[in-house]
Structures are given as C-alpha cells and as structure tokens.
A and B are shown apart, each in its own frame.
With several copies, the nearest count.
Chain A
Amino acid sequence: MAAKDGLGAPISDNMTAEDIALNMKEISVAEFFEKNRHLLGYENSSKAMLTIVKEGVDNSLDACEDAGILPELKVTVKQLGIDRFRIIMEDNGPGVVEAKMALAFGKMLFGSKFHRLKQSRGKQGLGIRGAILYAQLTTGKPAKIRTSTGDAKVHEFELLIDTVRNEPKISAHTTAPNKERWHGVSIELEIEGVYVERAQSIHEYLKRTAIANPYAHIIYNGPNGVLKYERTTNTMPKHPKEIKPHPYGIELGILIRMMATTRSQNVRSFLMGEFSRVGGSSADQILALAKLEAGRKPASIANDEAERLHKSMQMVKLIAPPTDCISPMTETLIENGLKKELEADFYVAITRPPSVYRGNPFQVEVGLAYGGKLNPQGAAELYRFANKVPLLYHQSSCAITKAVEEVDWKRYGLQQSSGGMPVGPLVVLVHFASVWVPFTSEGKEAIAEYPEIIKDIKLAIQDAGRNLASFVRSQRKSREGQMRRQLFERYIPVVAESLEKLTGKDHAPIEMKLEAMVKAGKLIIVEPAEETKTETKKAEPAEDEGADE
C-alpha cells in the first residue's frame, strides 16, 4: 500500500513501508569489508602489499609473544608478473590447533584478543582475513596455509572466505609428518600488487619493526635480494597481563550492561570483583556517594541509579590501573634501537607511567636521537608506533603528530615554524601502548586525537625534550666559552700593539697581563652592558649621523 501525502503524489515505482520491509536483510561483516576494503588498508595496489606483510608480521609477533617464543620470521615476496606477486609469511609461533584452523583464518570478527584487556598488536580478528579476502578478490586464488603446534603433524590446506556467510571454505586439506617438531604458521597468498621500496614500503616497515622489537629475527627475501634484521637482545619483553576495566572513564552504557550480565550477588562485590583497583573501602565510598545499598542486586539497579553510580565511580580517588597489562618497549631498548639504526650524538628515551583514557590503560614512550649524521636541514623525522607496530600512513591526522607539533620545541633549543614539526637533526620516536588503541580506521594507520592521549604524549616529549635541551645547551655553552676565550685572545695583540703606539710602552708585558686575565676568566662580562645599549644608532635620527661624516 502506497503512503499518501498531501503534497507529493506517489508515482508508480514508489515504495511503501511494506515494499521496503521486504528488502531488508542482514549483511555479513565479511561482505561489508569486501565492499569497503579501503577501510582495511587496501585502497591501492602498492599499499595493499605493505598491509598484507604488516598483518602477517603483527600476527606472528603476537603469537610468539603470547607463547614466550623468541620470534623468527621470514617474509618472501616474489614477482610473478607485471602486477602479480606471491607473498609468503612464516613464523615459529605456537601454531593453530586443528579445530580452529578454519575459523582463525576464514571468519572475520573472530578471535581471541577482542575482549581481553591486554596489549597486543592485532585485536579485532580482521587483519589476516582481510589479506586473504584481498587475494581472493584480485586473483581468485585461495590462501595456502601450513601450520603445526609442534606435534606429530603438519597441516597444509587451502582456504577461501565465503563472504556472504562470513564463513571459511577449506579445500585440499592434507597432513604431513612433523619430524622436526616444527611449530608455527606459514601463509602463502597470490595477489595483484605494485611493489615499491621507498618511503611507505615493506623495507621501511620492517626496519622500524626491528627497532621496536629488537628480540625478533626477521629475514626479508624481496624481489631485489635478501635483507636480515638481526636480533639485538635475547630477552623477551615483560609479558602483558590481562586486567579488569578501571572505573575511570568507563562508559555508562557499558556499566549498565555489565550489571545486567554479572554473576556477582550484590553491587559491592560487583564493584570489587569486576573492576581493577576497587577494594572494600573504595567500593563503600562509591556506594555511599551514589546513595546505593551495598546489598542491592546489580540487575535490580534502575537506570537513574546506574547513572548516580557511574558518576560516583568517577569521583572517588582510586589508584591508577595496574601496569602489567601493558608491555612497553622500555627506555633501554628504545635507546638501543635508535643507536643501532641512527648515527646521532645524543639519545634519550622516556617511558611514562601508565595512564587511562575511557577506562583503557595506556602508556606512552618517547625516544629522541639528535645531532651526528642526522640531516640538519628540514623537519625532524617521526617514527610512530602503536603497540610496537610502526605506523606509516596518515601521519598528518594522527594524535602522535598533533602532540609533536603542539610541543614548543624552541624551549629545547630547536627551531620550529608555528604549529609545525621541529626542524633540525632530530628523530622523534613515539610509542603508544594500550590494551585498546583507538585507531582512526580499521587499517590501523593513525591514532584518534583523544585529549588524554595527546596530553600524555606531550608530557613524555617534554620530559625527553628537557634532557635534550640540557645536552644542546651544554654543547652550545662549551662551544661558546671556547669561542669567547678565542675572541679575547685574537684581540689582545692588536690592543697591546695599539697601546704601544699610543704610549710608547712595550707591548709585550701588556699582552702577557691581558692573557693572564683571560685565563683567570673572572673579569669577563657576558651580558651586554649599558654601553652597548646606549650606543645603538637606532636611538638617533638617521640623518644626524650623515651630518658629521
């Protein structure tokens, strides 16, 4: 039945509410990303190649870290045709068990990391599936996967994703004996792509990955030869622990949902049991503030009561969330990474204490390298990392960039045009680690500009900047002190000679005495004194000077 309207007469192909209802159906998330693949970093063929390698390497490093294995990664890129490539990515991680093999690679928004509050590179169960989707879209070829958990069998299978249903389709699954007890995953994809080696390239991505993950050994076998990124430490990073959410910044809607589904018998135990840093007395404080009885069943809390509870949670003083859910790079490793990569005069690294945005703990680290062989002209180079993953795209719309630009670098002895990057022989490394990184897109290329995040990055940079400033200042000071002595020493012979001409007294003793005074250094005035001030010509009308020439 067509809806009637006072003004517009419905015409033949107009739809009624019923027509529209008939067309409604659910869309699979795989279909959604198939159509929107630029959201995952596949907007063009050269970026697609980098994105695939990035997703593979991120997954491998996460898996190795979870299992406490020192990572050995091998990435192979082989050119098959003008715009056709084979990419193989292999790791020595724990592998995937047979029961989950299909889902782990063939179903989007499926994974182990989404819900846990614990730092990891991947999170949403999209990355490697996106790569497989891209391969099947551009070449129609299935992914070839090998994996073993180190048991007797190595599984080999081919996989496509059924996008309509967001389900894996496995073909040609075989097993082979595993004498070496190999464990890990190897993924082979055939894709359409364009290969570049400059700027935003696989090279640059792996170089920066090596800086952030110095315990990984990475071999890159590219179209133009082999590159090896050696391990510089055998110590694995501190293992991040899973935590409960912190009351600060948790959203009201989430709180209401938690209360609806919790197994806790009363609000007090709910608060203590499901949040970090809430002990008995904090819980009591919160409940008192919210005017709620401790014994109330969480599910019975009405919406306006939940609102009061939510406000109270933000008001009570609590210690910061536990830091062990985050695995920073650490100051030592940042410095070592920069030293390995860059020939500079000065290095400094700062790891900030963890902080919280919207209930999510995060930690910021900053490294600076200055002077030496770094390019003294032009803007400083910025290395952005999120959970140890280098970010190569969308620099201009990233919270890290914004923070770097907002810092007043002139205080630290560097030049800077207003609101821009600092200028000078400087590399700025910023690492943002969090249980949940707020990327601006699923392609994970830039961090959203939350004020709390920008503020913390700025604090870290300022801290590092102060170290840098004292280096720059002391370097300048010693240079100036020396220059000053040299200046007087240059003038003394002329002054002594002039005085000899004026008075007829021998210049030699005058010269000696003046030189002794320079060495003693006591008399030397550095600040411009009155003389200079009153002598500036500008104070006089310009013509006046002309009158007496």
Chain B
Amino acid sequence: MAERNPKEKLVKMGNDIIKEVDAKENPKIEIPIRSLSNIIYNDKSKSLSIGDKTSKRFFFNVAHAKKFMQTTMVAAFCKELIEGKIHTNLRDMFYNLKRTLKDSEENTFDEQSESDPIVVDIEVALDMLREQLHLGADVRGRVVGNVSIVDRGDVVNWGKLGSGGWAIPSIVEEITFKSVDAKFILVIEKNAAFERLHEDKFWQKHNCIIITTQGQAARGCRRLIQRLSAEFKLPVYVFCDSDPYGWYIYSVIKFGSMSLAHQSDRLGTPNARYIGLTVSDIEEFGLDKFTIRAKDVDIKRAKDMMKYEWFQAPEWQKELKLLVDKKKKAELEALSGRGLRFMTEEYLPKKIKNKDFLP
C-alpha cells in the first residue's frame, strides 16, 4: 500500500493549503489521530491499525500556528530530499530547518523533539513511510546466523562476522537474501544476553538466527524480523525482561506500535511468540533472589496494558496481574544468577522444547 508517488502527495498537500488561502479560509492540515482512542486492533490479523478520526491543524490558531509552519517546513524539506535523491536522518533535518525567525528571538525549532513528531504527522497524514521521505530512522540492533545477504552489491554472511555480528541499518528494503539456513529467529532485548548466546554458539547449536534489538526495536530491526519471518516462514521467539517495558517491546514487534499503526503490515510480525521472561518463570526457574522490586510506574503501566485490546489473551492477563500483585520484575541478567550458562544450556532449550510460549 501507499507505495506510489510520495512527491505528488507532498505537492498536493501544498496546493490544498494554497487553495484555502485563495478562498480566504483558515488554512489547515488534516492529520489522523494517533491516540489510543483511534487505534483499532484486528484480532484476526493480530495487528494494530489506525481509525478514521482526524484532527485539524489550523494556521490561524494561536495554539497551532507554529506547528502548522513547522509542518510546511518539514514537507518542503522532504520534497527537496526526494528531488535531490539525498537520504538523511532526523537530527540532520532538525539542524537543517532550525533557524531564527526574522526580527525575533524565536527559532523555527528549538529541540529535535519538536521536529521528530512532525515527521510522524506527515507520514500518517499522507499514508507514507519515513523511508519514502528519504529520512533514516535510528540505527540499532545486531544479527548473527547462517544467512547470506546482498547489500549494495556486497555479499555479507552473518555467520562470518566474528564477535561483532552485522549491524542492522535503518533501511533494509533493498537487501536481498541469498541463503537462509535457520529453523527459527530468536529476538533478544538486551545486548549482553545476545553476546552470551553468541559466545556460547547458541545459534550454531540450535540452527537459528539471533537478533538483539538493543532496547525498543528500531524500524530497520522490526522490518528485518518481519521480512525474514514472512519470506522464509520462520517462527519468531521474543526474549525480553519480565517487566511492562520488556513486554511492550514484544508487543511492538508483534502488533506494531500505536504511533505507526498505519504501517503495521510492514513492521509487525503477527506470528511472533513470547519465550520469556515471565513472572511465572521467577518461581519455575528459582529466580526469586535475583528479582527487582517493581516501581509504582511499572504497576501503573501494567494496569494500563491490561486494558489494551491486544493484551487480552488470558495468558497475558495472568502475567500482568501477577506483576501487579507480586510487584516483582526480572531482567534477562537474572538468569545468570543461576550460573553463567544457565540461559544457554537450560532456560532457553527447555522453553523451546516444551513450546512454552505466550501468544
């Protein structure tokens, strides 16, 4: 969807505004709302999508005027990127557009945190991808496995990159897979656990691909998981901390994120399963000594998540409730409390063998 002619869309947006100016109407930009109230969860496709509620950003509104101006600036900048065939990133864009307004002390943008959401606004408003606007996302994530790819003409074997692994770029649309030899994909939240598994040659023993998201999964990382899973019918197991933040990382990999709900079909991996950690694991694997007390904010977050449509599975409701009741969190590192190779040699093999996953 939405793959054709991003430039035309940007020009049309500008022309629409000019038409309103000519008609002496208050110029506006219409943007779909991205808050929970306008997110639709499709239980069949296991993905989030955006509803049809929109909000209007008017120029002649004291509260909107600056954002309106910023939106036109970002739109114009992206059109120039596309025309000039240049790629850049959000920070560069911010610096490019930041300047002081004439005869004043006011800047077009003060912080990057002002320009970043404008990009999402345009993506959603024009139903486009950031990459189509020639803007790169954050680079985060590494991968190891028996996979060969072609990227910019180079053949890269993910299994032959030594201890480092392949750093996942922000755009993975253009890589092609030459050979993929794996039975499943293990996605790991934390770099340290990834290194442990890498050093212990887990991916060779279990013939799998291991990917670390290094925290919340960046777009490139999510798209890579989605492509591997979809193109090679590989099951995906996600391995995160037992806390609301870890579980949310899983849900973003599986269902998509709320703010990019319109791209769930490209970034979401509905067949992903959750391998651990869970609150139940704490008892089952004797991790109690290595837990951390949940903070108020964790409890609050867990209670919120209990209401999300995409966390309604009874298994998840149970875990969320356990967390609220026991007030205990466990990080992946808790497993090394049981011994440094406990994760590689006991926990994960046992979980995979018993297919002990959460939906």
Contact = CB atoms under 8 A, between A and B. Distances in A.
Do A and B touch each other in the complex, judged by CB within 8 A? yes
Interface string A514-540: 100110000111111111101101011
Interface stretch (B15-23, B150-158, B313-321): B15-23
Nearest to A546: B216
A548 B62 contact: no
B73 interface: yes
B104 A547 contact: no
Interface in A22-41: none
Interface stretch (A294-302, A403-411, A483-491): A483-491
A510 interface: yes
B61 A502 contact: no
A537 B117 contact: yes
A539 B35 contact: yes
Contacts of B67: 535
A79 B26 CA distance: 73
B101 A499 contact: no
A524 B137 contact: no
A33 to B, nearest CB: 61
Nearest to A483: B62
Contacts of B56: 529-531
Interface residues of A, number: 45
A534 B259 contact: no
A165 interface: no
Contact of A540 (B24, B34, B68): B34
A488 B65 contact: yes
A499 B18 CA distance: 8
B14 A502 contact: yes
A499 B58 CA distance: 15
Contacts of A80: none
> Looking at A484, A510, A531, A534, which has the most chain B CB atoms within 10 Å of its CB?
A531
A502 B62 contact: no
B66 interface: yes
Give chain A's interface secondary structure class: helix
A502 B11 contact: yes
A494 B73 contact: yes
Contacts of A497: 76
A288 interface: no
A531 B57 contact: yes
A502 B79 contact: yes
A548 B219 contact: yes
B62 A534 contact: no
B245 to A, nearest CB: 6
Contact of A494 (B69, B219, B304): B69
B138 interface: yes
Given A529-B56, A544-B258, A501 B62 contact: no
A548 B66 contact: no
Contact of B24 (A490, A504, A517, A541): A517
A528 B69 CA distance: 17
B358 to A, nearest CB: 19
B60 interface: yes
A540 B258 contact: yes
Interface in B33-56: 33-36, 55-56
Nearest to A533: B55
Contacts of B24: 513, 517
A531 B80 contact: no
B299 interface: no
A547 B215 CA distance: 9
B17 A499 contact: yes
B177 interface: no
B259 A540 contact: yes
A505 interface: yes
B336 interface: no
Given A502-B79, A513-B22, A547-B260, A528 B63 contact: yes
Nearest to A504: B11
Given A531-B56, A548-B219, A549-B137, A510 B11 contact: no
Given A502-B14, A548-B120, A532 B63 contact: yes
Interface string A274-304: 0000000000000000000000000000000
Contact of B58 (A502, A518, A529, A546): A529
Contacts of B15: 503, 505
A543 interface: yes
A528 B36 CA distance: 21
Nearest to B30: A531
B259 A495 contact: no
Nearest to B32: A534
Interface string A325-343: 0000000000000000000
B335 interface: no
A149 B93 CA distance: 92
27 contacts: A491-B101, A493-B102, A494-B73, A495-B68, A497-B76, A498-B72, A498-B75, A499-B14, A502-B75, A503-B15, A505-B14, A524-B61, A531-B31, A531-B55, A531-B56, A532-B63, A535-B55, A539-B35, A540-B34, A543-B245, A544-B248, A544-B252, A545-B117, A546-B215, A547-B257, A547-B259, A549-B138
Given A541-B301, A547-B252, 17 more contacts: A487-B62, A491-B66, A493-B102, A494-B73, A498-B72, A501-B76, A502-B13, A503-B15, A510-B18, A514-B21, A514-B59, A524-B60, A524-B62, A528-B63, A531-B56, A547-B217, A547-B218
6 cross-chain pairs, A with B, having the tightest CB-CB distances, nearest first: A502-B14, A498-B72, A501-B76, A525-B61, A503-B14, A528-B63
